[in-house]
Amino acid sequence: MYIQRLAHTQATQSAVTVRHDHLPQNHNVWHYHEELEFIYIKRGAGTFFVGDCIQPFSDDFIVLIGSNTPHYWLFDEVYMHHDALASADIRVIHFHPEFLGPGFFTLPEASPLKHIYQKAERALVFQASDQFFTGFFETFHQKTPLQRLVALVTMLDYISGISPLTKLVSSTYQHPQQHEDYRRMNKIMEHIRLQYRSKIHLEEIAQLAGMTSNSFCRYFKQRTGKTFIQFVNEIRIGQACKLLTETRSSVKEICLECGFQNFVSFHKIFKSVTQVTPSAFRTMTQTND
């Protein structure tokens, strides 16, 4: 599966489009688009890949994704079928960077919104406890096209007043510059997604990328800001966190399920990523429940 370049607003001849999904078939591809994506996952869970970030998500997840920032929503299997036991609730707004016209951002009054565009390239995440966000998404689809423009400007202005803003993508991340670069990174990401539960050999994935092992390591670090091993371990630890929270499997069983061959190594890596031990993490999540 290759990364796809999508065009949401061009397909409808609208500067702003809105969608309400209950099945995440429109989200489970590695893709990018010129439009910014503002999304509220009211109900749903899985793993969110954006730039060099791997972020578990669950109910009430809100994020603003910048123009041409690669992202991928890996929803849990329970949400993926028409006869699924759980139904997702996803509110999506796509808007073209120049949805108010090409000259709007040359105005000095528009400077705060221009800065939000730049920050959104690193994916901005927000709290659903802020009712300004949830109210915005709940009513947006009911508005007329002109009212949507006004509401969106008001929201971007509101975001410009939030400090600090929480960014998911690291400052060292570099977007792929060419279509072939996207194709290569997509093959790498897809292989990792499918194989992270087992041992991934460096030579194997380097060959998949059409590179020597040394060239691949340099390439991957340049594109993601992380070593290949760091990246894979973050995916594994993210899955381990999910299993510790949602199952009664033992820590050792979870260690093996997530692709770690050595319990001591798993324990050390888990603590380096989460700052707590696996057992402490499980206790914390149970206490929060």
Q: Which two tokens stand for residue 144?
A: 């007329």
Give residue limits of the domains in the chain. 4-167, 179-288
Instruction: Give the pLDDT score at 27.
Output: 56
Tell me whether the CATH fold assigned to 4-167 matches the one assigned to 179-288.
no
Instruction: Give the pLDDT score at 77.
Output: 73
Q: Which of 3, 76, 68, 73 is nearest to 36 (CA)?
A: 68
For the chain, the first-to-last Cα distance in angstroms comes to 38
Instruction: Give the pLDDT score at 2.
Output: 45
Instruction: Give the pLDDT score at 83.
Output: 65
User: Domain 179-288 belongs to what topology?
Assistant: Arc Repressor Mutant, subunit A (1.10.10)
Instruction: Give the pLDDT score at 1.
Output: 41
CA distances from 21 to 26, 104, 141, 262 (A): 8, 31, 12, 41
Instruction: Give the pLDDT score at 8.
Output: 63
Mean of all residue pLDDT scores within the chain: 86
Give the pairing of strands 89-95 and 46-50: unpaired
Question: Angle at the Cα of 236 (from 270 to 82), degrees rounded to 5?
Answer: 135
CA dist 174 and 268 (Å) reads 29
Instruction: Give the pLDDT score at 28.
Output: 59
pTM over 0.75: no
14-23 pLDDT, tens digit per residue, is 889 999 998 8
Instruction: Give the pLDDT score at 11.
Output: 55
Pick the CATH number of 4-167 from 2.40.50.180, 2.40.70.10, 2.40.50.1070, 2.60.120.10: 2.60.120.10
Instruction: Give the pLDDT score at 162.
Output: 95
**Weakly modelled stretches of the chain, pLDDT under 50:** 1-2
98-137 pLDDT, tens digit per residue, is 998 888 888 999 999 999 999 999 999 999 899 999 999 9
User: Which letter, b or e, does each residue of 174-201 get, where b requires 16 or more Cβ atoms within 10 Å of its Cβ?
Assistant: ebbeeeeebebbbbbbbebeeebeeebe
Instruction: Give the pLDDT score at 80.
Output: 72
CA dist 68 and 228 (Å) reads 23
CA distances from 155 to 36, 113, 133, 175, 194 (A): 14, 10, 8, 26, 38
Percent of the chain with pLDDT over 70: 89
Q: One-letter amino acid identity for 48?
A: F
Q: Which of 55, 63, 54 is nearest to 92 (CA)?
A: 63
CA dist 105 and 183 (Å) reads 32
45-54 pLDDT, tens digit per residue, is 888 888 888 8
CA dist 117 and 208 (Å) reads 35
Instruction: Give the pLDDT score at 289.
Output: 57
